[in-house]
Structure 1
Amino acid sequence: MGMTEKVLIIGSSNTDMVARTEHFPKPGETVLGGTFLMNPGGKGANQAVAAARLGADVRFVARTGPDIFGKQAREGFEKEGIDTDFISQSELASGVALITVDGQGQNEIVVASGANMDFHPHHIPEAVFDGAAWALFQLEIPAATVQWALSQCAARQVRAILNPAPAMPLGPEFLKGLYLITPNETETELMTGVEVNSEEALQQAAKTLFDAGVQNVVITLGSKGIYLASEDFTGIIAAPVVEAVDSTAAGDVFNGALLTALAKGAGLEQACRFACRAAAISVTRMGAQSSAPYQHELEPFDIHV
């Protein structure tokens, strides 16, 4: 395997507070007997940790608050070997996510964004882009900041991947020139107006995104796997069948793993197969970042370049 190229992940960092309970409370209802877990989360941070654990050279750019959550998050990233030089501090509280997971492994999430929404282009110095070959973005920070950073990537020939989550309508300025977009079914429908309930519909949705200027499309289909539309391969890649415990951050692990495989020189199809395996391992475990697998767990499926 060749050199791993440096990857840049710009996005959110949250602390997840997770309560497990048999069923979700109805409005006004109190459900007793849950178990509580607190762990680091946030789409950007989850993707950064997933990539770092799989051997990527990650620079993570984010904003945290002046509180214990921000301090713990930063210490956590350093432990994972992530370059944290460009994580800045806001006066607002660090982001938190309140997550309830029911007996079936489904989740409900309320996010208090805090410092993540106080993240603007002037918090991203030009040096952030130095030496980066790939960049990965999500939408838990202000859309204007993502758009600005995407334009910087385009100007510097950094290949940009957008995971357009959480779902929101995106103008053409987000899509033009993107190397890859990785929406789930809900996000795809919101962006393209196509309900992706068949392979024809998936093709149609991908075509809409191609017409908007995206080079490659991956639509994630949960336990069914992913749909890849690229020059070399178009079709569904099935996910390994596993006993799901907690689907939190499966998409983030997928994106982090995909980025890692690409930075190590894999083609898109191979990178997607690798990422599907990484995501499948993550849903068999509780938590967001804590569920991300390590390189040695995927060794039998090493990326051959």
Structure 2
Amino acid sequence: MILVFGSLNVDLVVPVAQLPVAGETVLGESYRIVAGGKGANQALAARRAGAEVRMVGAVGQDAFATVALQDLAAAGVDIDGVARVDAPTGAAFIGVDRQGQNQITVASGANLRARSEQVRDGWLRPPGLLLLQMEVPETENWALLKRARKAGLSTLLNVAPARSLPASVLPLIDWLIVNELEVLTAAAAGGRAPQDPYQAGARLANSGTPTLVTLGAKGAVAFMKGEAWQIDALPVRVLDTTAAGDAFVGAFAAALDSAARLPEALRWASTAAGLACTVAGAQPSLPAHATILARLAEVAPARAIPVPVT
């Protein structure tokens, strides 16, 4: 069972010819309203990849709450831990250009009311995995990590959006997933700011926290103390990259939950991330187990690479 504590949003997605620069207005022909939020996206990605999943977070008492929850419920994610609070459901405003690149502004809303106390002690019993992101109050994440560690549950933190992590938190994390910008912020907590994502990932791993760095079209690299593994990206025609990172995290979590070894979990995650780039929208793009399996052979097995000097 994967327990996801995190954000639930609605996404207002606008296709545009090009993304605006500061002070610029660009026009889009239309927009779509779809469910999103990193927590909900990763919960759904893990569920579609084959895992049993429970979602804990907060939505408002507005019409957007129904949109935020409907895909999770339809997929069989347990949403009993999602609270209804007196705040608007979180929303993301997403522009997507013709190359599939995006620009996102998030209004947190109800996500700021998510509380670790919503997670019952009985939900933290191993075996299982606690999956967290950074779109809810970080103090609630840290409190839940402490409870999970005490209970013996495995933990995975996706440091997105980018934040610096307190040194006291790192020993509570079994897996850290970051992109090539987020890893620089996360690794800077020790006082030395590395400039290279490979070096930053290796530094975090050497401090005791296994770290995965997603690299977009270049795939991903995983660092553990004394070893590193590279996985290529699935070759696809990119339509929308909005949920690629969430697809990677959710599929990786599902693979871990099924006791897959690291190289195979990386292959599963990279395939899912690539597939997510081929469909517009966040949750509509998250691939099913059978779809991932059908394309898995197109990604070469993860290979060991030299560990960067830190």
Q: TM-score, normalised by structure 2?
A: 0.89
Give the unaligned 5+ runs of structure 2: 188-192, 298-310
For 2:304, the equivalent position in structure 1 comes to none
Q: Does 1:194 align with 2:194?
A: yes
RMSD: 1.8
Q: Does 1:227 align with 2:214?
A: no
For 2:149, the equivalent position in structure 1 comes to 154
For 2:236, the equivalent position in structure 1 comes to 242
Q: Matches of 1:90 and 1:33 in 2, distance apart?
A: 33
Equivalent positions of 1:261-272 (< 5 A) are: 261-272=255-266
Q: Comparing 124-133 with 156-165, which one deviates more in the overlay? A: 124-133
For 1:3, the equivalent position in structure 2 comes to none
Q: Matches of 1:221 and 1:25 in 2, distance apart?
A: 24
Letter in 1 for 2:51: A
For 1:89, the equivalent position in structure 2 comes to 84
For 2:254, the equivalent position in structure 1 comes to 260
Aligned length: 291
Indicate the SS of the match to 1:168.
coil
- Residues 232 and 56 (structure 1 numbering): CA distance in 2 closer, same or farther, change over 3 Å? farther
Indicate the SS of the match to 1:84.
strand
- Residues 130 and 87 (structure 1 numbering): CA distance in 2 closer, same or farther, change over 3 Å? farther
- Residues 219 and 230 (structure 1 numbering): CA distance in 2 closer, same or farther, change over 3 Å? same
Of 11, 17, 20 in structure 1, the residue corresponding to residue 12 of structure 2 is: 17
Letter in 2 for 1:44: G
Using the aligned pairs only, state the percent identity: 35
Q: Comparing 152-161 with 103-112, which one deviates more in the overlay? A: 103-112
Task: Tell me how far 1:210 sits from its aligned partner.
Answer: 2.8
Q: Matches of 1:127 and 1:133 in 2, distance apart?
A: 12
For 1:118, the equivalent position in structure 2 comes to 113
- Residues 32 and 122 (structure 1 numbering): CA distance in 2 closer, same or farther, change over 3 Å? same
Letter in 2 for 1:70: A
For 1:47, the equivalent position in structure 2 comes to 42
Work out whether residues 44 and 137 of structure 1, in 8 Å CA contact, stay in contact via their aligned partners in 2.
yes
Indicate the SS of the match to 1:171.
coil
Q: Residue deviations 1:229-254, cap 9 Å, x none?
A: 13695132111221111100100000
- Residues 267 and 68 (structure 1 numbering): CA distance in 2 closer, same or farther, change over 3 Å? same
Of 126, 129, 136 in structure 1, the residue corresponding to residue 131 of structure 2 is: 136
Task: Tell me how far 1:211 sits from its aligned partner.
Answer: 4.3
Q: TM-score, normalised by structure 1?
A: 0.90
Letter in 2 for 1:62: G
Q: Matches of 1:86 and 1:131 in 2, distance apart?
A: 18
Q: Does 1:294 align with 2:288?
A: yes
For 2:74, the equivalent position in structure 1 comes to 79
Task: Tell me how far 1:35 sits from its aligned partner.
Answer: 2.7
Letter in 2 for 1:160: T
Work out whether residues 189 and 195 of structure 1, in 8 Å CA contact, stay in contact via their aligned partners in 2.
yes
Task: Tell me how far 1:114 sits from its aligned partner.
Answer: 0.4
- Residues 156 and 33 (structure 1 numbering): CA distance in 2 closer, same or farther, change over 3 Å? closer
For 1:163, the equivalent position in structure 2 comes to 158
Letter in 2 for 1:145: E
Work out whether residues 233 and 269 of structure 1, in 8 Å CA contact, stay in contact via their aligned partners in 2.
no
- Residues 289 and 277 (structure 1 numbering): CA distance in 2 closer, same or farther, change over 3 Å? same
Q: Matches of 1:10 and 1:132 in 2, distance apart?
A: 17
Work out whether residues 51 and 257 of structure 1, in 8 Å CA contact, stay in contact via their aligned partners in 2.
yes
Q: Matches of 2:288 and 2:227 in 1, distance apart?
A: 27
Task: Tell me how far 1:104 sits from its aligned partner.
Answer: 2.2
For 2:267, the equivalent position in structure 1 comes to 273
Task: Tell me how far 1:172 sits from its aligned partner.
Answer: 1.0
For 2:305, the equivalent position in structure 1 comes to none
Task: Tell me how far 1:80 sits from its aligned partner.
Answer: 0.7
Task: Tell me how far 1:184 sits from its aligned partner.
Answer: 0.6
Of 98, 104, 110 in structure 2, the residue corresponding to residue 109 of structure 1 is: 104
For 2:59, the equivalent position in structure 1 comes to 64
